[in-house]
Structure 1
Amino acid sequence: MSPLNIVVIGGGAAGFFGAITAAETFPNASVTILEKNRTVLNKVRISGGGRCNVTHACFDNRLLVKHYPRGEKSLRSLLNQFDAAATVRWFDDRGVSLKTEADGRMFPTSNTSETIINCLLDTAYQLGIKVRTSCGVASLSVSDPAATNSSWTLNLFTNEIIYADRVLIATGGYPQLSAYGWLPEQTDPVLSPVPSLFTFNVPDSPLLTLAGVSVKDAKVYVVGTKQEQRGPLLLTHWGFSGPAVLRLSAWAARDLSDVQYRFTLRINWVPTLNENELRNALQEFRQQNGRKQVVSQNPFGLPSRLWEAFAQEAGIAETQRWADLPAKPLNRLTERLTNSQFQVVGKSTFKDEFVTCGGIDLNSLHPQTLESKAQKGLFFAGEVLDIDGITGGFNFQNAWTSGYIAGKNIGH
């Protein structure tokens, strides 16, 4: 009897983890990874500024799933099989220790993604996994639809034809629905993909000259929706970025796509206070610091350049003292601090962490194995699924988890 032939399409994190788990679980199987690019693990290489944000130090799965705008329900059961703690143990067992940074992100102690890449490549080599690059799949079809156990035919762009008993698709997300056209007929339904994790372009922002200034805590809103997020905010030469904006772009991905990324962004720069509370705080500060100049005395710990810009927008002169500040500019300053509004007219991809909202509908897969309900022997893992997380190691955790589960079950 010939050994089981398993082909993994996609040489990224999910593909490698699925292939490695399959080879370890089914040692008599032949496992091959097909990667369309000339190199593998490309997103691993560039993520986290070249350090690879492997996972997040959130070891309570009930809390971990809250970091995924899509896929939370499915991930709850998947993480019971392989979670962040299991990821840490897996790499530690192979000589790769991880460290936790102040914000919970976990990186290899070596501070280089090459450590993770070498670990995956070495493990694959030791298990006899074949890794083929520049091998894009043009089409995938069932060899014999009448067979009880479907066998698969893969047509490569090199005009080569190869066959498989089982196939794991771990190709990552696609930017357009048409890009899924190579999948087999009657395949699993695909939820239309749109970008997630992107920054906001505001070409008319009066704050563009403050590029590089960051605020530790701000609250951002998409006006006209219930979408809002809070966290660090970064001013850029094109608009706004930082964790608060990236999280907002993730949760509001479909809403923002529907309006073609043209919307009003509202920012509260002092999110611990509402408008009335902030006005009262300014009045109290005014009474205690009457002789001091407004532009040089910042009561809320905002970056000095940003505070000066707000004061200027409010019509406050550089020499204006707090004691002499009229009511109108004080009200304008209050408005700027709690209700700044900007017209967003586009997005910019956050390249290191680019992910896609949408993909294979999770309802079309067996929830405990990630095998297609419609196509026996066809499995999915990673970002090709309709699962995506915010920045911080959550998308890699989805790759490790879904790759492990698909690999663990693909030989049955």
Structure 2
Amino acid sequence: MLFMYDLIIVGGGAAGFFTAINAAEKNKNLKIAILDRGREVLQKVKVSGGGRCNVTHACFEPTQLVNYYPRGNRELLQPFQQFNPTHTIEWFESRGVRIKKEADGRMFPVSNSSQSIIDCFLDACRKNCIEIITNTRVESIEKQDGQWQLHTIGNRQYLAKKLMIATGSDTAVWKLLENLGVSLVSPVPSLFTFNIKDERIQDLMGISVENVVCQLSSAKNKILTTFSSNGAILITHWGLSGPAILKLSAWAARELRELNYDFEVIVNWLGKTDIEKIRQHLHQQIGNQPKKNVLANAEFGLSIRLWKSLCIASGIGEYQKWAETGKKHISRLVEQLTASRFSVNGKSTFKEEFVTAGGVELAEVDFEKFSLKKYPDIYMAGEVLNIDAVTGGFNFQAAWTGAWIAAQHL
């Protein structure tokens, strides 16, 4: 059976739907179909942000926005000047989905439900007569008589003048692109948490520390100086998570894969505070509070449980007073506070939001149109490209931007 369209979009996720809707609204005469391999579409949208959908981030200046993208930051600068979080908010709100900003800059539907986004997309597809075809895996892509022919499971054939590939990290589709001579960067995980077994944190699950500074080191104590981050850290039952850790996992995704996720993370629990001032403060406690129990009186705003753990790791006894604390104890405590070394052995996916680094080589893409240089009638957006970001709504923003620009040229 042969089905003919003006535009076929392979992939029923955020980038695919956004392309379809914007293309249809720009040209009402286009016959458009979305093909998806699964039974249900928009599954990643559904689980994003704990089911609330982190639509975008309140970073409205393109030159700042690109700094959240370990891969693709240079290529996204001009596209973000055309369509950025300001435009994303306007787009959704013009369709009845109000967006709110949270304290950390993440932006969600006011409804606190990703279903608001899904309903918005499905309603727009109905209004624009966009066909949604599920349970349809593309097995081959070929050019015939100036049109693209797609063969799918079930001996169905689809013919289209133009294609949008928005399949994310589906490596089966990546293989089809390679067959067309398109260069790809092999996928590696990004946005993951660090698996750590260490007495200092094993009973501290749920403790969060703000404004921590982290740095990576290889197992051979070689400091990976390029990779450091600051922000909040969350102690979990499997190790360390939180924004500071996730930033590191994104920026060092390939290097950590090469180390087989066997490395060290160095944590400065006190952030960018001057180390000598910390040392001075601790020495002053010996004179100011000689009779106070060291473990029972947390310093620097740390939680009492974390403070106690770091003190014990410094060799300070459970009933030790400040008057009994000498230079060696102080030096060890300063080290634990500002340079706690944790051995990492493995990673865990960050919630349901699995993100990969890798995809179509960026040199293959014309970012004025988000089309392939080799095949100008094949467009791409979203995670199929070698573009990824830290957590906070940035990956969705890259998808919206690429999809919107592609739709203007389709």
> What TM-score does the superposition give when structure 2 sets the normalisation length?
0.94
Report the counterpart of residue 189 of structure 2 in structure 1.
195
SS at match of 1:208: coil
Does 1:169 find its partner at 2:165? yes
Task: Please report how far the alpha carbon of residue 272 of structure 1 lies from its aligned counterpart in structure 2 after TM superposition.
Answer: 2.5
Report the counterpart of residue 275 of structure 1 in structure 2.
275
Q: Cα deviations across residues 57-107 of structure 1 (Å, max 9, x unaligned)?
A: 111111111111111111111112211100000011101110100011111
Task: Please report how far the alpha carbon of residue 217 of structure 1 lies from its aligned counterpart in structure 2 after TM superposition.
Answer: 2.0
Task: Please report how far the alpha carbon of residue 392 of structure 1 lies from its aligned counterpart in structure 2 after TM superposition.
Answer: 0.7
SS at match of 2:265: strand
Report the counterpart of residue 96 of structure 1 in structure 2.
97
Task: Please report how far the alpha carbon of residue 166 of structure 1 lies from its aligned counterpart in structure 2 after TM superposition.
Answer: 0.6
Distance (whole Å) between structure 2 residues aligned to residue 258 and residue 277 of structure 1 = 38
Report the counterpart of residue 222 of structure 1 in structure 2.
216
Q: Cα deviations across residues 106-160 of structure 1 (Å, max 9, x unaligned)?
A: 111111110111001101110000011111111211123xxxxx31111112321
Distance (whole Å) between structure 2 residues aligned to residue 404 and residue 287 of structure 1 = 64
Q: Cα deviations across residues 272-305 of structure 1 (Å, max 9, x unaligned)?
A: 2243332112112333222211112122111111
Q: 2:153 corresponds to which letter in structure 1?
A: F
**1:155 maps to which of 135, 146, 151:** 151
**Is 2:139–2:150's contact at 8 Å kept on the other side of the alignment?**
yes
SS at match of 2:91: helix
Deviates more, 1:6-15 or 1:77-86: 77-86
Question: Unaligned 5+ residue runs, structure 2?
Answer: 218-222
Report the counterpart of residue 240 of structure 1 in structure 2.
240
Task: Please report how far the alpha carbon of residue 209 of structure 1 lies from its aligned counterpart in structure 2 after TM superposition.
Answer: 1.7
Identity, in percent, stands at 44
**Is 2:5–2:33's contact at 8 Å kept on the other side of the alignment?**
no
Deviates more, 1:283-292 or 1:161-170: 283-292
SS at match of 1:20: helix
SS at match of 1:165: strand
Report the counterpart of residue 143 of structure 2 in structure 1.
142
SS at match of 1:320: coil
Q: Cα deviations across residues 211-270 of structure 1 (Å, max 9, x unaligned)?
A: 111111211111121210111001111111111000000001111111111111111111
Report the counterpart of residue 320 of structure 2 in structure 1.
320
The total of aligned residue pairs comes to 402
Distance (whole Å) between structure 2 residues aligned to residue 62 and residue 287 of structure 1 = 50
Task: Please report how far the alpha carbon of residue 311 of structure 1 lies from its aligned counterpart in structure 2 after TM superposition.
Answer: 1.3
What is the 5 A alignment of 1:203-214? 203-214=197-208
Task: Please report how far the alpha carbon of residue 206 of structure 1 lies from its aligned counterpart in structure 2 after TM superposition.
Answer: 3.5
Question: Unaligned 5+ residue runs, structure 1?
Answer: 145-149
Report the counterpart of residue 113 of structure 1 in structure 2.
114
Distance (whole Å) between structure 2 residues aligned to residue 407 and residue 158 of structure 1 = 29
Distance (whole Å) between structure 2 residues aligned to residue 237 and residue 3 of structure 1 = 53
**Is 1:205–1:342's contact at 8 Å kept on the other side of the alignment?**
no
Task: Please report how far the alpha carbon of residue 14 of structure 1 lies from its aligned counterpart in structure 2 after TM superposition.
Answer: 0.4
Assess, with a 3 A threshold, how the Cα gap between structure 1 residues 218 and 73 changes in structure 2: closer, same or farther.
same
Q: Cα deviations across residues 328-360 of structure 1 (Å, max 9, x unaligned)?
A: 222211111111111111111114322111111
Q: Which has the higher strand share?
A: 2
After TM superposition, the runs of 4+ consecutive aligned structure 1 residues lying more than 6 A away are: none
**Is 1:191–1:361's contact at 8 Å kept on the other side of the alignment?**
yes
Report the counterpart of residue 345 of structure 1 in structure 2.
345
Distance (whole Å) between structure 2 residues aligned to residue 108 and residue 152 of structure 1 = 37
Distance (whole Å) between structure 1 residues aligned to residue 179 and residue 25 of structure 2 = 31
